[in-house]
Amino acid sequence: MRIAFVTDELPKPGSAGHLAFNHALIAWLRDQGHEVTILSVRARLRRPVEKYDFGPVAGRGLFAWRGRLFAGSFRGLAGILSRMTVGLLPASWGTALKRRGRASAYGVVDTVLGAFVSPEQTAWCATRLAREKPDAVLVDTVFRAPILAHPAVLGLKSVIVAHDVFYLRHLALMSAGYRVHPSVFSREMETRLLDLAGAVAAIQPEEAETIRRMCPDKNVFSAPMPALPCPRIPGTERVSDRLVFVGSDSLPNLDGLRWFFAEIWPRLRSWRATITLDLIGSCGRALPSLPDGVNRLGVVKTLAPYLHRASLAVSPLRAGSGLKIKVLDYARHGLVTVATPASLQGFASDPEAPFIAAADTIAFANAVAAQLRTNRPGAAERRALEYVTRHYGLERSFGGFTDALNLVPKDKVGSLG
């Protein structure tokens, strides 16, 4: 089959959980023999010219040539150069400028839950779909769902990849006192958007049940992120007392880290001064000052060398929804994770799951200390790797798309690009 994947961010592993999921899904579909073209409704490149050889891409404001993407508009180029400049500034300056730039589009907010497609983006995407006539379309979250209401798209097999129950995430962030864009996002709004698709893929079973209650006549299935075990290579040793956290600069990550550093980290360091924490991802740069013992590593090319050296992972998120793909990454690299209940929503129930739940400051600090005190790397690693093998294989994760789209391999008949 020929499938269009509609998004506003390029799927890629190692940057953010939802992008890693999209990348894994597209790779699986291609492995099944289907052609998938990425349709990006806006240009979100990191550089004016970016290497991206993950199959065909067509983008509004993008030009693709020989495995590279080029900013195809003055506005897009200006935005890229502006973000690159901000990235060179000290963290506090960069954060302030990013917030100021975001305010021009969304008002004064602490976080953007998502940006709905504009009429221009919808028209561009509908024109591409009408011209190329794919067999099916996958839509990345409800924020791209309005495209499915366009007359040119009606009749196509379609699935919304939900990633989150966004009205619940909106409620959690607003209840915590944060200013969120959009300012209003209700259960009824999300239900109307989900109803535009033929089927809905939820990223974890609990959210699939929630969406079934919202859309009782819809085909709703669970499609968790797959996790292929990645054991340590011989000769790699875990470092005692080394913790790790991987995350983007999203508000739930930063909120959890601020709580961890203010309430939990001082207790751990007073108990054992040799404890260190590696911060991987853009979360580190978004926090201007870090306490002693915390290493800001930034975005890395591959997680394995760092996760294979850590002795324990932490996930102190206090708000959020979806499936915390970072926690699944820890497990597939053989790590046990001390995590808040919010971090563990939607994971497969299993008495041998490599997670230690801790709901408050004292419980979290005590759980980390106890695990470090009694840690047996070999046993912990086997526990984690066996868990992901049992519950997060490729077919178990993505098999629901086969029925939702009636996927039947056929001879390739060209590409959407």
pLDDT at residue number 62: 85
CB 22 within 8 A of CB 223: no
- Quick one: CA dihedral 315, 319, 325, 326, positive or negative? negative
How many Cβ atoms from other residues are within 10 Å of residue 51's Cβ? 10
106 alpha-carbon distance from chain centroid: 22
Angstrom distance (rounded) from CA 143 to CA 112: 12
CA-CA-CA-CA torsion for 329, 332, 336, 339, nearest 10 degrees? Answer: 30
Q: Tell me the CATH class for 2-226+395-405.
A: alpha beta
pLDDT for residue 131: 87
Q: What is the pLDDT of residue 321?
A: 64
Q: How many whole angstroms separate alpha carbon 256 and alpha carbon 262?
A: 10
Domain ranges within the chain, ordered by starting residue: 2-226+395-405, 242-392
Q: What is the CATH architecture assignment of 242-392?
A: 3-Layer(aba) Sandwich (3.40)
Note the pLDDT of residue 411: 44
Query: Length of the chain in residues, anyone?
Result: 417
- Tens digits of pLDDT across the chain (417 residues): 999 999 999 998 866 788 889 999 999 999 999 999 999 998 778 788 888 889 899 988 888 888 888 887 777 777 777 777 766 666 656 666 666 666 667 777 888 888 899 999 999 999 999 888 899 999 999 999 999 999 888 888 999 999 999 999 999 889 888 889 999 999 999 999 999 999 999 998 889 999 999 999 999 999 998 888 999 988 889 999 999 999 988 888 999 999 999 999 999 999 999 999 999 988 888 888 899 999 999 888 889 999 999 999 999 998 766 678 899 999 999 999 999 999 998 898 899 999 999 999 999 999 999 999 987 878 889 999 999 999 988 888 898 998 898 876 444 434 444
Q: What is the pLDDT of residue 417?
A: 40
Specify the pairing of strand 136-140 against strand 2-7: parallel
Quote the Cα angle for 169-203-321, to 5°: 20
Query: How do the residues of the chain divide into helix, strand and coil, expressed in percent and rounded to 5?
Result: 40, 20, 40
Question: What one-character DSSP code corresponds to residue 261?
Answer: I
Q: How far, in Å, CA of 370 to CA of 118, rounded?
A: 51
Collapsing DSSP to helix, strand or coil, 396 comes out as: helix
User: Cβ distance 367 to 161 under 8 Å?
Assistant: no
Six token digits for residue 387 = 């868990």
pLDDT at 413: 39
Token pair in block for residue 277: 């924490």
Which three-class secondary structure state does DSSP give residue 85?
Answer: helix
Q: pLDDT by residue (tens digit) across 321-332?
A: 667 889 999 999
The reply to whether 242-392 shares the fold of 2-226+395-405 is yes
